[in-house]
Structure 1
Amino acid sequence: MPCSPRVDVNTFLDNRPMGARQWLVVVLGFIVLAFDGFDTTSIGFVAPALIDDWGITRQALGPVMMAGLLGLAFGAMAAGPLADRYGRKSVIVGSVFFFGLWSLACAYAVDVTSLTVLRFLTGVGLGASMPNTATLVSEFGPRRRRSHMVTGIYCGFTIGAALGGLGSEWLIQHFGWRSVMVVGGVLPIAFALVLLATLPESIGFLAQHARFKSRLLRIVNQIAQGIADNTTVFYSSEEKVQNKSSVAALFAPSYRLGTCMIWVTLFMGLLTMYLLSSWLPLLSRDAGLSMGQAAVIGSLLQVGGVLGNFTTGMKMDRWDHHVVVGLTLLGGGLSAVLIALQQPTMEVLCPLILLLGYFINGVNTGSYALATQFYPTAMRATGVSWATGIGRFGAISGAGIGALMLAANWSFSQVFLFIFLPSSLGVLAMIIKGRHGHSSLKTATQK
């Protein structure tokens, strides 16, 4: 293949078949999110055993739940600008090592206070890894498959969370709840070394910095052998964005409305998901199910999410992004109402929780995919990470609201009826963005 004198890194991948290097990024991203899912939800699965071991009340775990989620928000919002400045790879590798280290430390917690601090630090690493992994995967994907690739790696999160439920039950029975934290720490630490050796940097990011041209040449030629040499000029057809790493750029006229509506959607979606992820096992046990049955119900929520994640991106690559996310939100709200109207038995809950997981997980991954395509490369990591961070405050609210509901002795049905409210607000946000924010999906100039 003759060398091209000019290569547009913004469209370079669009008309090419997926190559081995791109699939490598997808697989590594999937595994990162699997570890992320395991460690993020592990505290919910060990909660019943932890309560019995320490002799504490359910409400006493509220600070532990919220501290981890606060760390997720802080990590996401801090890491996005760093990834736009220093690269996606370094932030991803560092964050995986960081959350593995502190998850391992959680195994040695001696009381609620120490566990609260350690879960916050674990959350910082978890919060940094997820949005930057999504950003990197989107930048290695052709436009025609980008949403599917982003939502596809989020199947890793839900699979990791589901394995957390099933694996936690076995680990707790044989080795105690601390073993769950050990597994959630050692494996990510080892995998961080694999990422350091094998994960490539974003082509779009490298093209913005002349000092990285040799790395850019190597990666481009690994994807399309012989297409570039030292004389090749790399450029991007995206219009230039001033203050490219500044959070203020998210509120430029072309991005302001879309930014706010994505934030609202993720806030409501994560509120719902983390309310259930944090408290569903306890809610199920209080409704009369055994501890083993409660763990299965919690896992089914994540299994449904795998299906939702996988298909949401496919739909978004084919149909209007806003319509797909809005209808997914509506489906989640209606599923929750249907659950509230039923008696909480395994026969009834298993299919309905699977359906609910399909929708509520699909909402969040669809919103991440929407964000990766809404922002240009120069501010994409910041945009996606800040959307994730703001959404995490919804997760914190969900965990806190769940604790208050339990303290107020809300019934199983009342909790699920409540879920219709945040789902409806998310639908409204997507309607507003869909009507007024389509132009923002195109690249805009920061004035």
Structure 2
Amino acid sequence: MSHHQSATSKVIDVQQFIDEHSFSPYQWLILFICFLIVAADGFDTAAIGFVAPAVAREWSIPVSALGPVLSAALVGLALGALLAGPIADRIGRRRVLIGSVFFFGLWTAACVAATDIWQLTVFRFLTGIGLGAALPNATTLLSEYVPAKRRALLLNIMFCGFTLGASAGGLAAAALIPDFGWRSVFVVGGAVPVLLAIGLIRLPESIRFMVIRDWPIERIRHVLRRIANDPAIATSRFTVWENQGDSQRTPIGAMLARPYRFGTLTLWLAYYMGLLVYYTLTSWMPTLIREAGFSLREAALVTALFPAGGVLGALIFGWLMDRWNPSRTVALAFLLLGVAVCAMGQGAASTGSLAVLTFVAGVCMTGAQMSMLALAALFYPTHSRATGVAWMLGVGRFGGILGAMGGGTLLAAGYSMIYIFTLMAAPAFVAALALFAMAWDRARPALAVH
């Protein structure tokens, strides 16, 4: 428990205050701003995939030679997440968020000046550091401004921005590249976050962070009045009621301390396995379907159905998490993903059946991966929340890197679509098991912390 000192008597728990008042226009504004940040993140993450063919054509190189460029951002994402979490838990979410959005916008714009593979690789790596820092901090900031009973759904609505931004990257590439060349995609992808970062100056710091760090009481009152103009605000002290038993530790130490260690490791394992499946499927699905004897058009259409179900999955599982045990809900999503992916391998007889299974797999895949961020935000206390969310993202990225490279290795070794899809069910089942274990661990009375 953390107190904000003042001579006055009444104590308001800021989370309880948020839970008891209706969702204000101010909170909708914070949700909208975080949605835009995540959309810009999605656009800049996906942009390289859409421009790769045009870059390869201009530089007269095979698309496969762009491997380092495609994986550089993933390495940067991992590093950005691991660095940004502990910094945000020390100096605040807002400053790190503004800095990271400006940083990835700047380096996306720098890609315009690249003249060879190595320059583009370095610029994409630096872009990745900013992208890796932005998402966990947007997650943490928003989670600390929303009512507990709707937290998972509202966070998952924010994550839909990523899917929307990535789709916008494809549309922008299709519209801009024929007339203005591939560099124009990076001009847009750089200008939007830089302008957004300037607009973020108006964004407030996390209310819970301000309270546990003993910020000036008037700053806290000012923000609370924007949520609800309750007369009690003027004469109260503020607190955050939660388990702060490890608040003397560093955020990384707290995340790995006894009450949180098992949950931390299961979150890392599940997110790693989820990204391994996600990147293997998204990187190699068109090739796998083509190799199985389907036409190029069929392969493209079926692959497009995989991300199409993402928004639906995020909303369904976010809604369920607020009503049922969150860990079990996400475990169920991974379990259904494993079944769907396994069935894709076994039942690839017709385009129709493959299309339905791909859509179902996409709903479960995106629903599970997006809900993992909400799950981490729900799991950690305020003083180590940014670190907890960010480190799960950072560790998971290595699963993504393995997935992006591993699919190619399996294809080169001559394995069939049936074998690779069936094999991909295994990490999904491991992720489900890890989260069921987490739910069981949290249910033990000694560890029931909030």
TM norm. shorter chain > 0.5: yes
Contact 1:162 1:300 in 2 (8 A): no
- The corresponding residue for 2:432 is 427
Contact 1:220 1:227 in 2 (8 A): no
From the superposition, tell whether residues 96 and 344 of structure 1 become closer, same or farther in structure 2 (CA, over 3 Å).
farther
Give the CA deviation at 1:62: 2.5
- The corresponding residue for 1:443 is 449
Q: Does 1:416 find its partner at 2:424?
A: no
Out of 219, 228, 235, the residue aligned to residue 215 of structure 1 is 219
Q: Distance in 2 between matches of 1:333 and 1:166?
A: 31
- The corresponding residue for 1:56 is 61
Q: Does 1:72 find its partner at 2:77?
A: yes
Where does 1:129-278 land on structure 2 (aligned, <5 Å)? 129-197=134-202, 199-229=203-233, 231-240=235-244, 241-278=246-283
What is the root-mean-square deviation in Å for CA atoms of aligned residues? 2.6
From the superposition, tell whether residues 292 and 135 of structure 1 become closer, same or farther in structure 2 (CA, over 3 Å).
farther
Q: In the alignment, residue 71 of structure 1 is paired with which amino acid?
A: G
- The corresponding residue for 1:8 is 13
Deviation string 1:83-113 (CA, Å, 9 cap, x unpaired) is 1111111111111111111111123322221
Q: In the alignment, residue 344 of structure 2 is paired with which amino acid?
A: I
Give the CA deviation at 1:428: 1.6
Out of 363, 378, 394, the residue aligned to residue 358 of structure 1 is 363
From the superposition, tell whether residues 348 and 112 of structure 1 become closer, same or farther in structure 2 (CA, over 3 Å).
farther
Give the CA deviation at 1:246: 2.8
Contact 2:224 2:233 in 1 (8 A): no
Q: Distance in 2 between matches of 1:330 and 1:188?
A: 36
Q: Distance in 2 between matches of 1:275 and 1:232?
A: 53
Contact 2:267 2:376 in 1 (8 A): yes
Out of 114, 118, 123, the residue aligned to residue 113 of structure 1 is 118
Q: Does 1:372 find its partner at 2:381?
A: no
Q: In the alignment, residue 44 of structure 2 is paired with which amino acid?
A: D
Q: In the alignment, residue 436 of structure 1 is paired with which amino acid?
A: D
Give 5+ residue unaligned stretches, structure 1: none
Give the CA deviation at 1:297: 5.1
Contact 1:29 1:133 in 2 (8 A): yes
Q: In the alignment, residue 114 of structure 2 is paired with which amino acid?
A: A
Q: Distance in 1 between matches of 2:160 and 2:101?
A: 18
Contact 1:85 1:245 in 2 (8 A): no
Contact 2:209 2:382 in 1 (8 A): yes
TM-score normalised over the length of structure 2: 0.90
Out of 384, 389, 411, the residue aligned to residue 389 of structure 2 is 384
Show structure 1 runs of 4+ deviating over 6 A. 285-295
Instruction: Give the 3-state SS of the residue equivalent to 1:419 in structure 2.
Output: helix
Contact 2:157 2:315 in 1 (8 A): yes
Instruction: Give the 3-state SS of the residue equivalent to 2:238 in structure 1.
Output: strand
Q: In the alignment, residue 179 of structure 2 is paired with which amino acid?
A: H
User: Which segment drifts farther, 421-430 or 239-248?
Assistant: 239-248
Instruction: Give the 3-state SS of the residue equivalent to 2:23 in structure 1.
Output: coil
Give the CA deviation at 1:296: 5.6
User: Which segment drifts farther, 151-160 or 50-59?
Assistant: 50-59
Q: Does 1:81 find its partner at 2:79?
A: no
Contact 2:442 2:448 in 1 (8 A): no
Q: Distance in 1 between matches of 2:185 and 2:314?
A: 25
User: Which segment drifts farther, 397-406 or 29-38?
Assistant: 397-406
Aligned length: 441
From the superposition, tell whether residues 287 and 178 of structure 1 become closer, same or farther in structure 2 (CA, over 3 Å).
farther
Contact 1:283 1:412 in 2 (8 A): yes
Where does 1:280-429 land on structure 2 (aligned, <5 Å)? 280=285, 299-343=304-348, 349-408=354-413, 410-429=415-434
Give the CA deviation at 1:203: 0.7
**Identical counterparts, % of pairs:** 43
Deviation string 1:306-336 (CA, Å, 9 cap, x unpaired) is 1111111100111111221111112212222
From the superposition, tell whether residues 172 and 67 of structure 1 become closer, same or farther in structure 2 (CA, over 3 Å).
same
Give the CA deviation at 1:233: 0.8
Out of 21, 24, 28, the residue aligned to residue 19 of structure 1 is 24
Instruction: Give the 3-state SS of the residue equivalent to 1:416 in structure 2.
Output: helix
Contact 2:102 2:193 in 1 (8 A): yes
Give the CA deviation at 1:417: 2.7
Deviation string 1:185-211 (CA, Å, 9 cap, x unpaired) is 1111111112222x2221101112333
From the superposition, tell whether residues 184 and 297 of structure 1 become closer, same or farther in structure 2 (CA, over 3 Å).
farther
Contact 2:274 2:428 in 1 (8 A): yes
Instruction: Give the 3-state SS of the residue equivalent to 1:238 in structure 2.
Output: coil
User: Which segment drifts farther, 334-343 or 395-404?
Assistant: 334-343
Give the CA deviation at 1:249: 1.1
Deviation string 1:332-362 (CA, Å, 9 cap, x unpaired) is 1222223334559865554433322211111
From the superposition, tell whether residues 262 and 5 of structure 1 become closer, same or farther in structure 2 (CA, over 3 Å).
same
TM-score normalised over the length of structure 1: 0.90
Q: In the alignment, residue 221 of structure 1 is paired with which amino acid?
A: R
Instruction: Give the 3-state SS of the residue equivalent to 1:271 in structure 2.
Output: helix
From the superposition, tell whether residues 345 and 107 of structure 1 become closer, same or farther in structure 2 (CA, over 3 Å).
farther
Q: Distance in 1 between matches of 2:364 and 2:147?
A: 26
Q: Distance in 1 between matches of 2:253 and 2:271?
A: 20
Q: In the alignment, residue 152 of structure 1 is paired with which amino acid?
A: I
Q: Distance in 2 between matches of 1:317 and 1:280?
A: 33
From the superposition, tell whether residues 180 and 350 of structure 1 become closer, same or farther in structure 2 (CA, over 3 Å).
farther
Give 5+ residue unaligned stretches, structure 2: 1-7
User: Which segment drifts farther, 134-143 or 58-67?
Assistant: 58-67
User: Which segment drifts farther, 317-326 or 224-233?
Assistant: 224-233
Instruction: Give the 3-state SS of the residue equivalent to 1:107 in structure 2.
Output: helix
